[in-house]
Amino acid sequence: MSVTRSACRTIMKAIRVAQFGGAEVMKVEANLTVPKPSEKQILIKVSAAGVNPVDTYIRSGNYAKLPALPYTPGSDVGGVVEDIGSEVSQFKKGDHVFTVRTDTGGYGEYTLADSSLVGVLDDKLSLDQGAAIGVPYFTAYRAVVVLGKAQKGETILVHGASGAVGLACVQIAKAKGLRVIGTAGTQEGLDIVTSIGADAAVNHRGDNYTQSITEACGGSGPNLIIEMLANVNLEKDLQMAAPRGRVLIVGSRGTVEVTPRLTMGKELTVQGVMLMGSTAEEWEQMHAGIREGMSAGWLKPHIGHTYTLEQAPQAHNDIINTKGATGKLILKI
């Protein structure tokens, strides 16, 4: 197949990080060369880029695998196909797409992505919403369905359900026929959680909130718990979980001391979730699930706040330090 040649600009602007450290190391550079796709890559003209907590961990240097400096942050974008590699057949110039990961960073006017980590955006969704699909929904699908093995009729507890991954978990779990209990730290967050279909919402900053969760479960514990802040909640998760329950750890920001015996009597399973550890078969399963969600209409990303490219440092501050997340943060390019 011949390559679709583009008439895009040769110069673009993007965020560049020249050293690891604080948010102030992120700078906008305006004279960067637009990259060219290799055989299996797609060049995307970015409309919006998602901001994820992992972006801040990498930027600060506190991550297991760090990119070579300088680099452009950003994994998930919503944009339009501008050019394709010679071995790419499932996309064409002009397609509206979203990414789960990029090869050259999403915080810029153009980015390259491996075609296997790109999906066609359904007409029901905007390009801004496309930037809110990749990391949150694929992580949520991996946690709830692939690893969590959610079954219709079970009860799931989603900690931090008002955040981007949490809201995705709620939507996926409801689509799979589970009873969903979500937690949030503000009334706004609780309202969003219930508005997208959760059967109950509990303020995790309230007194005796674990008792409220147990009552919402009908007196028994949740079969499946999606944990966004394990260093705070894991011990309580083990106490609450139903017999043979599963706890899936999506996020943690520190260490925690737990009582292992809590896992024994109820034969609980505690498992970590790492999206990029997925096998080829699991990627296919997740892509299929996301396509189904877009087609059926239950996949509806919630945009919490929009920033300009120049406001990326503020977005990084907010995603870590703002109490009470409410949806996905995006950069409008």
Tell me the pLDDT tens digit for each residue of 103-146: 999 999 999 999 999 999 999 999 999 999 999 999 999 999 99
What pLDDT is stored for residue 3 in this prediction? 44
Tell me the two tokens of residue 78.
């919503």
Q: Which CATH topology does 11-133+301-332 take?
A: Quinone Oxidoreductase; Chain A, domain 1 (3.90.180)
Instruction: Please answer whether residues 177 and 224 qualify as being in contact, where contact means their C-beta atoms are separated by less than 8 angstroms.
Output: no
Quick one: average pLDDT of 38-45? 98
The CA distance from 26 to 47, in Å, is 20
Q: Which CATH superfamily is domain 136-276 in?
A: NAD(P)-binding Rossmann-like Domain (3.40.50.720)
The CATH 3.40.50.720 domain(s) of the chain lie at 136-276
What pLDDT is stored for residue 4 in this prediction? 46
Cis ω for the linkage preceding 301 (within 30 of 0): no
Among the ranges given (18-27, 49-58, 148-157), the one the predictor scored with the smallest mean pLDDT:
18-27
The CATH 3.90.180.10 domain(s) of the chain lie at 11-133+301-332
By three-state DSSP, how is residue 129 classified?
Answer: helix
Tell me the pLDDT tens digit for each residue of 179-191: 999 999 999 999 9
Instruction: Please answer whether residues 105 and 8 qualify as being in contact, where contact means their C-beta atoms are separated by less than 8 angstroms.
Output: no
